[in-house]
A and B are shown apart, each in its own frame.
Chain A
Amino acid sequence: MRISLAWLRDFVDLPESPEELRATLDDLGLVVEGIERVGEGLEDVVVARVERIAPIPGADRIRRVVVEAGAGPLEIVCGAWNFHEGDRVPLAPVGAVLPGGFAIARRTMRGVTSNGMLCSGRELGLSEDHAGLLVLNDQPGAEPGRHLIEVLGLTPDVVFDVSVEGNRPDAWCVEGVARDLAVRLSRPLRAPRLASPGGVTPTSALAGARVEAPELCGRLTVSVLRHVTIAPSPPWVAQRLRAAGMRPISNVVDASNLVMLELGQPTHPYDRDRVAGSTLGVRRARAGETLTTLDGVERRLATSGRGLGDTGVDGVIVDGEDRVLGLAGIMGGAASEITEATTEVLLEAACFDPMAIARSSKRHGLRTEASARFERGVDPTLALRAVARLVAVLEESSPGLEWLAEPLDVTGDLDEVPTLTLAATDVAGLLGTAVEAAEVRRLLTGLDFVVEGDDPFVVRPPARRRDVRAGLEGRADLIEEVARLHGYGRLARRVPSWPEVGGLSDRQRMRRRLRDAAVALGALEVWTPTLVAPSEHGLLALGPPVAVANPLSAEESVLRATCVTGVARAWLRNLERGRGDVALCEVGTVFTHPAVAVHPRRTRGGVGGRSEVALPEEGERLTLLLGRPGDDAVAATVLARALLGRLALRDVVVRALAEAPPGVHPTRAAALVDRVSGARLGVVGEVDPALVAHLAGGEAPRRAGLVELDLDALFDPARATPAPRAIRLPSRFPSAVIDLAFVTPDALNAQDLAHALGATDERVESVALFDVYRGGAVPSGARSLAFTLRLSSPERTLDEREVAQLREALIESGRALGASLR
């Protein structure tokens, strides 16, 4: 919200500098996001009348303009196109310095000398309008040569850009900000000048008001203004609107906007002649009704939207013949708009239900200054005070204006104002800072809370504080107000302590060990996108995609079901840059559609959490790609075993896979299987060359080893069997080392054979495969596997006889599995 310092000073004395005020506002939670000075540096700018406009040969963006600014014709080169001969526009003559320090000098363009600059609203710091010159034709007294600040009645001002939090609708206006400042600075708050209704004709003689949907409209007031002259606003009104970032239009509309900015109450003026029966009503829109709003869009009313729990209720304003005039509290329709010919105004000032406005506004994609205020909650007692202010402002430019007596005032359903109790000990109990009871009373009273009794107090919030709830929540709301006005900076700090110790979970420790191991083995950690293109998802057979309903782009519209594609893409990009000689690793989440998930997640959902929704399964994977020249499935297998070595698992076997998972080389893949549980803990192999080729847009440049670990399985002790805790002391006696080579059928896994050998006798210290040989005397369908075995006893050095016995037993173990000594 842009808010003028001069305007604030109408309400409260503020001798402080803008910077001092900024600090105070920040500390009140009214954060100042910027400070702008307006109306400065315009001393030299004068009104000029456009006498002649002529093209400049060879230039199609600029024109030669001759203006009269009181001292004879002046030639100016101008790039704006929104003005005509005879128009009056602002001229910054040579030597003037505009806001922002832009100095005007004599310049020659295309052979034409420009003796100054014709200015837009933005160049003058008066508005955001940069589309063309600020045309002053409608401005009274805009005679050539007169100073612009005189004509516009400008005084230098400071504009704060204040960010008002969603729970402070009361502060979303000049008076509200001034009120906070007044309490904080212990100064009185001045009331604005208000008009009163008068005359003998009661409003009811000429107008009507009906609330047919009391749940949507807590209050509807209808006033009649007669003898209205539509004219430009007085300069001070126009200046305040401009400072707030709004464009002055005409006195009635401007007064309505001014009051909204000043007091926070949106109002809506109608041309009384154009409202049938001179009656305004509020009701629910009926299915099939349509309305063309002021922005020219035809809207279908009462159709339910996509929003959760949205039933399609629209509140509408209707006339005496039940025809829809506008979307209540959001935007009016064109048919009843005031025009230059309007002489009688029907003025609506109402209070609508915040949630209903929020729903309609969202459904129609229509957010206006009014709807934004109503959806946060407008003071239900403010309406007629706002009208009184509007009339007081309008009277200045519409003398003889009459506001008919006894404006219509209909109430609907309003939330009850809660009655709360608050003790100074409650404040201390929540804040940890003692604030004296008298101070609590002073702060709350300053904000117009009714505070009765002695500590504990009975507190009733003013109607405007719709953010203050009932019960315990309301008490917290009150304590926040006390803390805010007292100053957060003055609150105590204490470092809490508790007997429970902090720490990581087993899973988090495991994840760190794996990450560290991957990095220690040379991997670079990457972060690839979770949101991918549907076509990328479709590259692999990963089941139905989990799609985002409202993606920013199709390229990022599906939750990834694998990290392999992302990591492969990252590798290829680096390969293109000549840096593919790396191992990349990602620890990330993958998503599986609930329709095909092994462990679908069901959780509370729906309105009020009253139903159950099925959510995607989220799995955690470590995906490691080995991309250095020569890296392949063999390297990946060795690396995977090294990684798993960090996790103290009992025994993981590399087993052939009948079918490789998506993204993995079909004939160079194996599963990492927990021997005890049989659960799959991961996959090793190479990235599917077809995938790499596709991502590379041609042939796969080279092999890339792949390790994919399933962290969910690894963390589950029922799937990943832990190694025994106890650590065996190594024998102090020398080990005997023997080599055994077995002719082993292809169907027999080398590690199963190794495991059987190791389990033969407790004196087998270790078994290591050191050679695989095919061909020669080894029959086809089998290969020779050569193992080195270390044998030892904790009690003594094994003698030859014992070693020979063991050797026989080991050979027998192999034979039992179908492997014969070579």
Chain B
Amino acid sequence: MPDDRLDPATLADDLVNRVHALASLDALREAEASLVGRRSPFAELQRTLGALDEEERRTLGASLQEARRRVEGELEARRGLLAAEERRRALEADRLDLGDVVDAAVRLPVAVGHGGLIAATQRELEDVFVAMGFTVEEGPEVESDWYNFEALNMPPAHPARGLWDTFYVDLGDPETVVLRTHTSPTQIHLMERATATDGLPIHSVMPGRCYRRDTPDARHLVAFHQIEGLVVAEGITFADLAGTIESFTTAYFGPSITSRLRPGFFPFTEPSAEFEVTCTVCGGGGCRTCSMTGWVELGGCGMVDPAVLTAVGIDPERYHGFAFGFGIDRCAMMRYEIADLRALTENDVRFVEQFS
């Protein structure tokens, strides 16, 4: 190797020192080209390689590569350091003691806000039921298998579980923790609490967010909202259930809308029913929305299965209960004629602004 040529390693040492001397991101950006870029000594050396024989070219080329990589590494480290420092400086310059905020210095915005459509629908539903004498109860969204299924008369591997596509949470043993697939586990919590505190009778509705592992489409979202009702008292009958559903239907949808029940199946109620309401689009005359039947399905209901009452320690000889549940999102969809539920989670201001 001719003496007048620089050794790449020595060259790198020199360049690394220059990198360390860089005091700001601006300086770094400016120097970059001359350190490792097209104007760097590396680039110059690279151009001389062509004149060498193959053996020399390979040796020098390799050490050149290595030296350049070292400088590049140092440069990046320096860049990170300087950036962090500048960020810190900027944040320091930004510092504000919010304890010193003078209320009068800021005029609160005068703007028209808009509540969420689902929250508003939930509130309307709660208000109807509160007026009918119900309290409102809430429960967690992550539940154990026991609350979501087994206490509701669905032991593990029960085929009826297939009605609910379930998300499992990665906690504990496999499939022991779930994202609740319905609001019904809140019923179990409520009845357990009532048993422990001598808290019967129960007349409650339970709204909340639930999850189903199902590809979302215009009518279904992975996360959705349900409201569930539970009455447990002495002397409660299916007639009370049917009457409650009818009262609610008329109160919420209007005097021209009525309800009907037909047999259904839920593991936690017996007898069980599906409930349908007059199609709000055609008023019962028959249209595409209701498949020409005049009715649209809203939810499920039934008399609480004695097995469920037993599981929570309530004497099924003495107490009867009824339960019902339906989708809050679906009510909103019907009332506000929303073509695609997915719009609800897009949070486009132009969509939200239309809510009252």
Interface set of A (CB-CB < 8 Å, partner B): 26-29, 31, 165-168, 306-310, 354-355, 358-359, 362, 375-376, 429-433, 469, 471-473, 475-477, 479-480, 483-484, 488-489, 491-498, 500-505, 508, 512, 515-516, 518-531, 546-552, 556, 559, 570, 573-574, 577, 579, 582-585, 587, 589, 591, 594, 601, 603-609, 613-616, 618, 628, 633-635, 637-639, 641-642, 653-656, 665-670, 684-685, 690, 746, 749-751, 768-772, 783, 785
Contact = CB atoms under 8 A, between A and B. Distances in A.
B98 A502 contact: no
Nearest to A636: B98
18 contacts: A431-B271, A480-B272, A498-B233, A502-B132, A524-B349, A524-B352, A530-B209, A531-B222, A546-B170, A546-B171, A547-B169, A551-B167, A587-B119, A594-B171, A601-B140, A606-B146, A613-B171, A615-B143
B140 A670 contact: no
B126 interface: yes
Nearest to A469: B307
Nearest to B158: A358
Given A165-B264, A309-B157, A638-B101, A614 B171 contact: yes
Given A310-B157, A504-B136, A496 B240 contact: yes
Contacts of A28: 263
Given A358-B157, A667-B91, A472 B213 contact: no
B144 A431 contact: no
Nearest to B302: A480
Contacts of A583: 109, 111, 113
Given A498-B133, A559-B142, A605-B144, A433 B171 contact: no
Given A429-B237, A501-B133, A615-B142, A638 B271 contact: no
Question: SS class of chain A's interface: helix, strand, loop or mixed?
Answer: mixed
Nearest to A588: B209
Contacts of A491: 238-239, 242, 261
A171 to B, nearest CB: 11
Nearest to B239: A432
Contact of B201 (A308, A500, A587, A768): A500
Interface in B76-111: 87, 91-92, 94-106, 108-111
Interface of B: 87, 91-92, 94-106, 108-116, 118-119, 123, 126, 129-138, 140-147, 150-151, 155-160, 162-163, 167-177, 179, 201, 203, 209, 211, 213, 215, 222-223, 231, 233, 236-240, 242-244, 246-247, 260-265, 267, 270-274, 303, 305-307, 316-317, 320, 344-350, 352-353, 355
A148 to B, nearest CB: 31
A615 B179 contact: no
Contact of B260 (A471, A489, A582): A489
B101 A480 contact: no
Nearest to A703: B94
A655 B101 CA distance: 11
Nearest to A688: B91
Contacts of B98: 633-634, 637, 654, 656, 668-670, 684-685
Contacts of A609: 144, 146, 150-151
Which 3 residue pairs of A and B lie closest in terms of their CB atoms, listed nearest first? A29-B263, A432-B239, A432-B237
A375 B161 CA distance: 12
Contact of A522 (B113, B160, B267): B113
B105 A634 contact: yes
Given A166-B163, A637-B98, A668-B95, A484 B145 contact: no
A524 B239 contact: no
Contact of B116 (A525, A546, A655, A666): A525
B102 to A, nearest CB: 5
A549 B169 contact: yes
A577 B244 CA distance: 46
B106 A307 contact: no
B96 A667 contact: yes
B145 A655 contact: no
Contact of B174 (A27, A549, A551, A641): A549
